[in-house]
Structure 1
Amino acid sequence: MLKAVAVITSSEGISGKIFFTQEGDGPTTVTGSVSGLKPGLHGFHVHTFGDTTNGCLSTGIVNWQGLHFNPASKDHGGPEDENRHAGDLGNVNVGDDGTANFTIVDKHIPLSGPHSIAGRSVVFHEGRDDLGKGGHELSKITGNAGDRIACGIIGLQE
């Protein structure tokens, strides 16, 4: 079994931990607990780069290329869509207390191999991801989920 973790931080008081586990060639299970977010839905993605030297802005190129992890060069979509970035994990629902506890199982984010997410980053966005179906000019690129408000680098564990 492979395991990884991302420690979520932000300058806005958002914090938490996201754990990743994968058995063999099976799907990866993502289990997280994050606090300090505003209630409602927030876009949640794996971004291309594991670089937080400029906060969450350095997790993907600002001109949108290389933003969400996308080794197959597909359009942005939802987790259940065939046409989606590998890193498109949809939305996390935050309760009235500002906390989100969630589990996601996804076959597009392996922890090993040529398309591994190890060393990349996870990002929470300020708004809801429209899953590529919102009709906005950014829908098929980012899900029009707004600014990056918290992030962490995905590191393998022993």
Structure 2
Amino acid sequence: MISHSTMVNAVAVITGTNGRKGTVSFSVEGSGPTTVKGSLSGLPPGDHALIIHTYGNISNDWVSTVPPFKPAGADGFLENITVTSEGIATFEIYKTIPLSGTNSVIGRGLVVHASPSPDPGDGVAWGTIGLSY
């Protein structure tokens, strides 16, 4: 018997001050892990925490997205990403991140923070996670 799984895709268009920009895509099929792929530019070099925030409202930059999204004990933390000396980060993360249901991240904020976790500091780039087709 062939199993037919549903593919769900989402994307966050990332912006920030000083020309910071990029995209982060989310893709999951069935109950498998979510693939998170990102390509960002204009960021300060070094390690930065990538965190899902509760609210997708970016009208006041990243500040209006707080607090971190913590469904069922999760901490919203995706991963620390490394930005090159040229300000570029490309990454691929595999993690269980719901794109549907009660704990879905659709409509939530995605923030690149100034420092790595556990003390990530202020946001340096941000976006809202939305469905993509």
TM > 0.5: yes
- Kindly state the Cα deviation for residue 96 of structure 1 after the two structures are TM-superposed: 1.4
Which amino acid letter does the alignment assign opposite residue 104 of structure 1?
A: I
- Kindly state the Cα deviation for residue 12 of structure 1 after the two structures are TM-superposed: 2.5
Q: Which runs of 4+ in 1 moved over 4 A?
A: none
- Kindly state the Cα deviation for residue 25 of structure 1 after the two structures are TM-superposed: 1.4
C-alpha distance in 2, partners of 1:29/1:94?
20
C-alpha distance in 2, partners of 1:44/1:96?
18
Instruction: Structure 2: give runs of 5+ residues left out of the alignment.
Output: 1-6
Percent identity between the aligned chains? 46
- Kindly state the Cα deviation for residue 20 of structure 1 after the two structures are TM-superposed: 0.5
Relative to its length, the structure with more strand (as a share) is: 2
- Kindly state the Cα deviation for residue 92 of structure 1 after the two structures are TM-superposed: 0.4
Instruction: Classify the secondary structure of the residue corresponding to 1:12.
Output: helix
C-alpha distance in 2, partners of 1:146/1:19?
24
- Kindly state the Cα deviation for residue 11 of structure 1 after the two structures are TM-superposed: 1.9
Q: Structure 1 length normalisation: TM-score?
A: 0.77
Q: Paired residue for 2:70? A: 70
Matched, 1:36 2:42: yes
In the alignment of these two chains, the number of paired residues is: 127
- Please, what is the CA RMSD of the aligned residues? 1.0
Matched, 1:122 2:122: no
Relative to its length, the structure with more helix (as a share) is: 2
- Kindly state the Cα deviation for residue 90 of structure 1 after the two structures are TM-superposed: 2.2
Matched, 1:106 2:95: yes
C-alpha distance in 1, partners of 2:54/2:111?
10
C-alpha distance in 1, partners of 2:34/2:24?
12
